[in-house]
Structure 1
Amino acid sequence: MGPVPRTLELFYDVLSPYSWLGFEVLCRYKNIWNINLQLRPTLIAGIMKDSGNKPPALLPRKAQYLRNDIRLLGQHVQVPMQFPKDFFSVILEKGSLSAMRFLTAVNMEHPEMLEKVSRELWMRVWSRDEDISEPQSILAAAEKAGMSTEQAQGLLEEISTPKVKNKLKETTEAACKYGERSGWALYLQP
């Protein structure tokens, strides 16, 4: 019998292309690297606010670097990435609050579906330039990931409940606290 797997938490938001790259690598290699991967849906807007950071796309030099970096990393990691045509509307106006609340509800009620539904939401925004903010878009992603219409609809109805809102807030605050200690949103537990 080999060593006991270490637990690794990935705090992520489907609005972040870098989170998607990390997600895919960790999902691919979790068995080889002997890690127990815990996916933790988080709100990147909350992390940005807490840290005082601005989205890289708002800074001209970082925006230019970001576009090229994401393209090259996507090719290297074999993740089909392309920027949304109306990037600023998708990132700054629409955001990911509903999608991340939905993923929080998925994690609470059907954690076995979290990886697939998360991936499908990333595919919508970062591969196919599709919406992730409207209820019908979230339902389409969940169904494409293999969730029944009834399950997905039930979870969608929960995204405005205090239980789901508070859980997303708690997870985002936990990510901020880990970041204060380590500077990373990825945390390896001893």
Structure 2
Amino acid sequence: MSGKITCYLDCVSPYSYFALIYLERNREALRSHNVEIDIVPVFLGGINVGSGNKPPWTLPAKADYSKFDSARAKKYFAVQAVKTPSFFPILSLLPQRSLIYVKATHPDHFIATFRDYFLEMWENGIDLSKPELLAKVLSKRFKEGEVRQVLEAANSPEWKQNLNANTEEALKRGAFGCPWYWVRNSKGEEEPFFGSDRFHYMWEYLGLPWRDIELAPAAKAKI
């Protein structure tokens, strides 16, 4: 078996957080099947505009439902501390550009840095759109000079364009939100997937062995 999962994420999306957690938990199992994971930072705001989609909180019915769905997802993915920050939503351009730069120049720190961003925003309520706060988060893994380089790159034309290119790539692949996946199986076939609760469909498409959800019968009463 072989294949590739290209996953488009934005730190402004809690469901992107859940997706990254789940993929990382299964990275070794996927590697054993020769399935590669490529995490790609994108700008969700640009995807919404480009696809004509609207964020859930702009539609009252979706906003009301999301509190139930979010609570269920937190429990399932074992991230009980996740909460919506008071400043939500942020303009995620700066952190997303910085992640692209980190991926290109410090690949060994890329996933850990992305997880730091999610953790600090969704569990600790840190506004990553503010350069000084983003710098503090980056300082957990990078030296002072490196942090300065990351922030400078995130404000440069080159890395602004790189984020635009990633976002356009996702849109060309049909994206209307995050997390968005483009999956290639061992036959060379490719299909899109969306959300943090469609992994069983993905495993099936990739031809991987997996266990379906099983409903256990009620225990018999003892006589």
Provide the residue aligned with 1:133 in structure 2.
129
Q: Does 1:11 align with 2:8?
A: yes
* Cross-structure match for 2:83: 82
Between the two proteins, the alignment pairs up a number of residues equal to 179
Residue 153 of structure 2 is aligned to residue 158 of structure 1: yes
Question: How far did residue 140 of structure 1 move?
Answer: 1.5
Look up the match of 1:21: 18
Q: Would you say the 8 A contact 2:30–2:36 is kept in 1?
A: no
| Segments of 4+ moved more than 3 angstroms | none
Q: TM-score, normalising length from structure 2?
A: 0.75
Task: Tell me how far apart the structure 1 counterparts of residues 73 and 112 of structure 2 sit (CA, whole Å).
Answer: 21
Q: Where in structure 2 are there 5+ consecutive unaligned residues? A: 189-223
Is the 2:41–2:163 contact (alpha carbons within 8 Å) kept by the matching residues of 1? yes
Query: How far does residue 14 in structure 1 lie from its aligned partner after superposition?
Result: 0.2
Question: What does 1:25-64 align with in structure 2 at a 5 Å threshold?
Answer: 25-34=22-31, 35-64=35-64
% of aligned pairs identical?
26
Aligned to 1:112, which of 108, 131, 150?
108
- Partner of 2:8, secondary structure, is strand
The 8 Å contact of residues 102 and 109 in structure 2, kept in 1 or not, is answered as yes
Residue 99 of structure 1 pairs with residue 95 of structure 2 = yes
RMSD: 1.7
The residue type paired with residue 98 of structure 2 is: F
Q: Is the Cα contact below 8 Å between 1:113 and 1:147 reproduced in 2?
A: no
Quote the Cα distance in structure 2 between the aligned partners of 1:112 and 1:188.
Answer: 23
The answer for the alignment partner of 2:221 in structure 1 is none
CA contact (8 A) 1:71 1:82 kept: no
1:168 aligns with one of 158, 163, 168: 163
Unaligned runs of 5+ in 1: none
Deviation at 1:184, TM superposition (A): 7.5
More helix by share: 1
Per-residue CA distance 1:94-153 (angstroms, 9 max, x = gap): 321111111111112112211111111111211111111111211111122x22222121
**Alpha-carbon distance, 1:156 to partner:** 0.6
Indicate if the aligned counterparts of 1:105 and 1:159 stay in contact, CA closer than 8 A: yes
Q: Deviations over 1:20-74 (max 9, x none)?
A: 1111100110111232111100000010001111110111111111122112111
Task: Give the equivalent residue in structure 1 for 2:144.
Answer: 149
Measured in 2, the distance between the counterparts of 1:152 and 1:68 equals: 38
Residues in 1 aligned to 2:148 and 2:83: alpha-carbon distance in whole angstroms? 29
TM-score by length of 1: 0.88
Structure 2 residue aligned with 1:178: 173
Q: Distance in 2 between matches of 1:81 and 1:23?
A: 14
